[in-house]
Amino acid sequence: MEENLQISRRRSGAADAPLGEPPDIAALTCGLAAGDEAAYRLFYDAYFDRLLRYLLVVTGGNEETAREALQLALVRVVRHVKTFATEEKFWGWLTVLARSALADEGRKQRRYFAFLERFTRHQETGADPMDNGEADERLRALLAGQLTALPEDERQLVEQKYGLRQSVREIAEKQQTSEKAVESKLSRVRRKLKDAVLTKLKNEQPR
């Protein structure tokens, strides 16, 4: 069912249509729990826009963040829905789910940005930005993918510094250049990688 949860009004067919009569919540949630496609379509018609408006209020009008959280919340509806007797209880559960998704999305973004910021500021912090503890698997995979797309000289420089753990002085001596020149180039490459990873993350977000 999760493939049906891409945030798109064309999926729900409710871009401009009125909500109409409220659905029978017990029947609707029972159908959702059973994986019934018709129940999912009815759920989208009745709650897609409503949940989005709710998240827009909670995020202070940040549409991008609201949509990201809504995507995550809808996935969790599929995974965890159960039968509810009243609309009030069902809506209350949905708002808790939405706020939880918003908090998780915020933590993920803060973790990503913190890692990428440390990555670009390596020369100031002295911490190795490639250490396993710095980011989750998805972020490291994105970073590795962008590394392979670098020009040969830039990729070799990153490998020397973070793969072979060579010092800036050692790299400078091998390249017959100054330490300042090596660190300057490393700084440019780190920022280039950061921008590329952020672009990838943004492009992967649901619209």
Highest mean pLDDT among 118-122, 164-168, 171-175: 171-175
Q: What does 99-125 look like in DSSP terms, one character per residue?
A: HHHHHHHHHHHHHHHHHHHHHHTHHHH
Number of alpha carbons in the 13 Å side-chain half-sphere of residue 99: 7
pLDDT tens digits, residue range 120-149?
555 444 444 444 444 556 666 777 778 778
User: Is the pLDDT assigned to residue 38 strictly greater than 80?
Assistant: yes
Q: Note whether 41 and 12 are within 8 A (CB).
A: yes
Q: Domains for the chain: give ranges and CATH numbers.
A: 2-110 (no CATH), 121-204 (1.10.10)
Average pLDDT over residues 163-170: 80
Q: DSSP characters for 51-65?
A: HHHHHHHHTTS-HHH
Name which of 39-53, 54-68, 87-101, 157-171 the model is least confident about.
157-171
- What is the pLDDT of the chain when averaged over all its residues? 76
CB of 144 closer than 8 Å to CB of 175: no
The answer to whether residues 147 and 193 touch, using CB atoms and an 8 Å cutoff, is yes
